[in-house]
């Protein structure tokens, strides 16, 4: 279990804050179709804020860097971060825009479709990220995603590297990435769709995932961890391609499972845990998030994650 005597690792998240509007339905509607939903909820979300909250719930000292609008959703986003003990002094409120909103449809299997209207997130400029990171004097692990401008992510990664900080990038939502970002990344955590978008390929098997991920190591990336849903997660480094089986849970809503994975992974790595152990813990966090509705409300605490991680199946090599 967590050791309260240890100094918490420091994680800084530069990324998005999105307020989620979630509708549950028996199946997602097709083109031109209207369906009656079974439930509706409003939850603080956004990949950046979700990962910040998960890192805090896994006992890190977390700072969030980003932007919201001067509106109800923005105030609720900041309140949620405060409630989870995330430092929000670098979350800027921009009165000229509105807070980002996510429209999420979840079917009875727990799968989802998401439309994000980015608003304030896409007005978060490189200089804002640079100034925030340079204001942090102690070493941090930097965690990034792709719901803010690429230029801002690049500036954040360059700034962190200049300070000697490790950089973890969750490359979501899926898109091609420029060399000037990838070469500053230490660990990359794509899912299979995001991996294909980055590499320009369409991998469909474990061996193909491993080959595609291996191509990215040429940028100096230390490890690519491909999240594969019910198959688990695959680690690809210069020395290995290893599959870590998923935990079998009753899936309710997969909305923040990837964020739970990356948020937990970032803390475990910041603590200096072995890479394999960090992935097992991250797998457990992702599994637990899928058992609950909503984004931030679904994120598990450290004790729950560590208890589930004990039951991890042995990883196996992929040839």
Distances (CA, A) of 60 to 55, 174, 270, 275, 299: 6, 27, 9, 17, 14
Alpha helices, H only, the chain: 47-57, 72-83, 126-134, 150-162, 179-182, 192-199, 206-216, 257-270, 275-289, 302-309
* DSSP single-letter state for residue 191: B
The overall pTM is greater than 0.95: no
User: Strands 87-94 and 316-317: what pairing?
Assistant: unpaired
Over the chain, what is the mean pLDDT? 94
Residues 151 and 1: their CA atoms lie apart, in Å, by: 39
Confidence of residue 4 (pLDDT cuts 50, 70, 90): very low
Pick from 89, 185, 82: nearest CA to 136: 89
Confidence of residue 30 (pLDDT cuts 50, 70, 90): confident
> Cα angle vertex 284, ends 278, 286, to 5°?
100
User: Is pLDDT at 311 greater than 80 in this prediction?
Assistant: yes
Give the model confidence (pLDDT) of 68-114 as tens digits: 999 999 999 999 999 999 999 999 999 999 999 999 898 988 888 88
Tell me if residue 143 falls in helix, strand or coil. strand
Residues 46 and 56: their CA atoms lie apart, in Å, by: 15
Residues annotated as catalytic are 259
Confidence of residue 319 (pLDDT cuts 50, 70, 90): low
pLDDT, average across residues 254-271: 95
Give the model confidence (pLDDT) of 278-287 as tens digits: 999 999 999 9
| Residue 256 confidence (pLDDT) | 87
| Residue 45 confidence (pLDDT) | 92
User: For residue 111, how far is the Cα from the chain centroid?
Assistant: 17
Rg (alpha carbons) of the chain, rounded to whole number: 18
| Residue 106 confidence (pLDDT) | 86
User: Is pLDDT at 53 greater than 80 in this prediction?
Assistant: yes
Q: Which long-range contacts (CB under 8 A, 24 or more apart) does 131-136 make?
A: 132/12, 132/14, 132/63, 132/65, 132/90, 133/12, 133/14, 133/65, 133/159, 133/160, 133/163, 134/159, 135/90, 136/10, 136/12, 136/63
| Residue 201 confidence (pLDDT) | 93
Give the model confidence (pLDDT) of 116-160 as tens digits: 899 999 999 999 999 999 999 999 999 999 999 999 999 999 999
> Cα angle vertex 145, ends 216, 184, to 5°?
45
User: Is pLDDT at 297 greater than 90 in this prediction?
Assistant: no
User: Is pLDDT at 5 greater than 70 in this prediction?
Assistant: no
């Amino acid at each position: 279990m967590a050791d309260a005597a240890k100094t918490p690792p420091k994680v800084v998240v530069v990324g998005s804050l999105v307020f989620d509007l979630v509708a549950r339905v028996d199946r997602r509607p097709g083109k031109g179709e209207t369906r009656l939903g079974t439930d509706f909820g409003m939850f603080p979300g956004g990949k950046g804020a979700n990962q910040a909250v998960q890192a805090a719930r896994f006992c890190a000292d977390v700072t969030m860097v980003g932007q919201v609008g001067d509106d109800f959703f923005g105030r609720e986003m900041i309140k949620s971060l405060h409630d989870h003990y995330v430092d929000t002094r670098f979350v800027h409120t921009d009165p000229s825009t509105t807070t980002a909103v996510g429209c999420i449809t979840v079917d009875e299997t727990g799968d989802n479709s998401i439309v994000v209207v980015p608003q304030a997130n896409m007005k978060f400029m490189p200089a804002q990220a640079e100034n925030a990171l340079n204001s942090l004097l102690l070493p941090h692990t930097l965690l990034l995603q792709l719901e803010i401008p690429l230029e801002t992510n690049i500036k954040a990664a360059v700034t962190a590297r200049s300070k000697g900080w490790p950089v973890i990038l969750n490359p979501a939502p899926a898109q091609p990435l420029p060399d000037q970002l990838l070469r500053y990344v230490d660990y990359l955590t794509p899912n299979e769709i995001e991996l294909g978008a980055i590499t320009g390929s369409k991998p469909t098997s474990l061996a193909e995932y491993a080959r595609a991920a291996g191509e990215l190591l040429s940028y100096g990336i230390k490890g690519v961890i491909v999240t594969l849903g019910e198959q688990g997660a695959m680690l690809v480094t210069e020395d290995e391609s290893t599959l870590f089986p998923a935990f079998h849970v009753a899936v309710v809503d997969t909305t923040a499972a990837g964020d739970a994975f990356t948020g937990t992974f970032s803390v475990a790595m910041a603590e200096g845990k072995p890479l394999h152990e960090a992935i097992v813990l991250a797998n457990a966090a992702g599994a637990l998030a899928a058992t609950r509705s909503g984004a931030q409300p679904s994120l598990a605490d450290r004790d729950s994650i560590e208890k589930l991680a004990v039951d991890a199946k042995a990883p196996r090599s992929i040839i």
